[in-house]
A = this chain, B = another copy of it.
């Protein structure tokens, strides 16, 4: 027993929980929504990820003896509250959109319903897990889109923001489309193919580059992806690689190639391709690495660089061009004791920041009888979606604020996760990736562009829009 991950939470969650415990009926219940407003890299959607780790954390959620001792030592909380924490049985219900689903702004990606005190205690770690992995899955989707079907290997462990970020980030990268990782622990935990050959230090450890390549080919005759830029790509690396390919071929091996990790990759790869082709090795592959991201990959391929695969490190594992996904966890409804459910709202001078009150459900609308999605709809949980209605668009940047919605098939976006006895969710990383590709295929292509994607509409039902408007008005009075 020792300090547990259940303590990865902001102190104020405990302070509030203790305060609720002291000042509100113990059976007060709440609904909180996780959603985000801004998509990284100016994209139009986020690829959701991190739910498996949320469920893992919730299953058997409890505080260890050491956790409790530490909380006592703070002398901030009542003895009764501490003893509640000690013996707490977790009984929130969590509703969430399956991992790998493209999710648009303001749509609840996850909803927690249960005792107010418990909901409050989940806020920080739920956000931490969902924000981080969704961020990396979203970046990975962009990078894999740019790679246009060519394999992308995640290999950012050394630049990830800590050990978990390397392991969970590699998982999220696969959800977003990567085919393999160099991270051995992540590969082992999540059943991901593990990839990688040599670093410059291998080449430096032998008297000559040729000897380094030859030794490699002796040990790994079927995995000879030779790193050709330790000294000079064209005068040394590629000619030495070709010599080794000749030996390998003589011995019956067929899988070999080069990796270029510095310099002008477009130019070097074209020249290297020609040298290898001229030497009779059109089957030798070229892998590129070195500070790649979706823009660099797109530009290399536009220029016609003959690249077969990519190794992507720091810019993927940290989503470095947009390293924060600002998902929030907002109170939507409260039930004090035996009372009614009261919708709750957070106001702001910025229209975008006003929250959606009440317990809600989200749907994806498809043109009737097709798999072509054209809008999402957020409704109150207790209304059934009418066959035809005027949807209200809450996106503050849209001029068309209403649309007549009819002739659609509506599909609920969530699957249910029940308390600590979580229903089984999909945990096969590549099945989640497959789900992502299926859901992507249903979206308008314009929403998927790397640059200036179209906004996809998210509507409110009239009932939800009216409730929000009424609550804004009541608070202003």
Binds B, one of A10-18, A365-373, A381-389: A10-18
Binds B, one of A198-206, A302-310, A416-424, A449-457: A198-206
- A320 near B331 with CB under 8 A, answer no
Give the Cβ gap from A334 to chain B, nearest Cβ, in Å.
Answer: 6
Taken together as a complex, chains A and B put the C-alpha atoms of A187 and B346 apart, in Å, by 30
Asked, given contacts A162-B165, A164-B162, A331-B200, whether A205 binds B20 with beta carbons under 8 Å apart, the answer is: yes
Taken together as a complex, chains A and B put the C-alpha atoms of A167 and B116 apart, in Å, by 25
Give the Cβ gap from A341 to chain B, nearest Cβ, in Å.
Answer: 13
B10, B18, B70, B199: which contacts A182 (Cβ < 8 A)? B10
- A188 near B231 with CB under 8 A, answer no
Taken together as a complex, chains A and B put the C-alpha atoms of A13 and B120 apart, in Å, by 43
B5, B131, B230: which contacts A347 (Cβ < 8 A)? B230
Report B-chain residues with C-beta under 8 Å of the C-beta of A230: 346-347
Report B-chain residues with C-beta under 8 Å of the C-beta of A19: 198, 202, 215-216, 219-220
Give the Cβ gap from A7 to chain B, nearest Cβ, in Å.
Answer: 4
- B324 near A159 with CB under 8 A, answer yes
Taken together as a complex, chains A and B put the C-alpha atoms of A8 and B67 apart, in Å, by 27
Taken together as a complex, chains A and B put the C-alpha atoms of A123 and B158 apart, in Å, by 8
Over the window 163-185 of chain A, the binary record of Cβ atoms lying under 8 Å from chain B Cβ atoms (1 yes, 0 no) is: 11111110000000000001111
The verdict on A427 contacting chain B, using a C-beta distance below 8 Å, is no
B165, B200, B205: which contacts A334 (Cβ < 8 A)? B205
- A23 near B218 with CB under 8 A, answer yes
Give the Cβ gap from A9 to chain B, nearest Cβ, in Å.
Answer: 6
- A157 near B331 with CB under 8 A, answer no
- A160 near B70 with CB under 8 A, answer no
- B11 near A331 with CB under 8 A, answer no
**Which residue of the partner chain B has the closest CB to A202?**
B16
How many A residues touch B, CB cutoff 8 Å? 107
Report B-chain residues with C-beta under 8 Å of the C-beta of A350: 262
B165, B197, B232, B324: which contacts A12 (Cβ < 8 A)? B197
The verdict on A349 contacting chain B, using a C-beta distance below 8 Å, is yes
Most chain B CB neighbours (cut-off 10 Å) among A30, A184, A197: A184
- A324 near B331 with CB under 8 A, answer no
Asked, given contacts A158-B127, A163-B164, A219-B22, whether A14 binds B184 with beta carbons under 8 Å apart, the answer is: yes
Taken together as a complex, chains A and B put the C-alpha atoms of A449 and B375 apart, in Å, by 49
Taken together as a complex, chains A and B put the C-alpha atoms of A199 and B166 apart, in Å, by 30
Report B-chain residues with C-beta under 8 Å of the C-beta of A124: 157-158
Interface residues of A (CB under 8 A from B): 3-5, 7-16, 18-20, 22-24, 28, 30, 32, 67, 70-71, 74, 76, 116, 120, 123-125, 127-129, 131-133, 135-136, 155, 157-169, 182-185, 187-189, 194-202, 204-205, 215-216, 218-220, 223, 229-232, 262-263, 314-315, 318-320, 323-327, 329-331, 334, 344-350, 353, 475
Given contacts A20-B205, A159-B325, 12 further A-B contacts (CB under 8 A): A8-B183, A10-B182, A19-B219, A23-B218, A23-B219, A70-B188, A127-B158, A128-B163, A128-B166, A200-B330, A314-B324, A318-B324
Enumerate the 9 nearest inter-chain pairs by beta-carbon distance, A residue then B residue, closest first. A12-B196, A162-B164, A7-B185, A164-B164, A127-B158, A161-B161, A323-B323, A11-B196, A10-B182
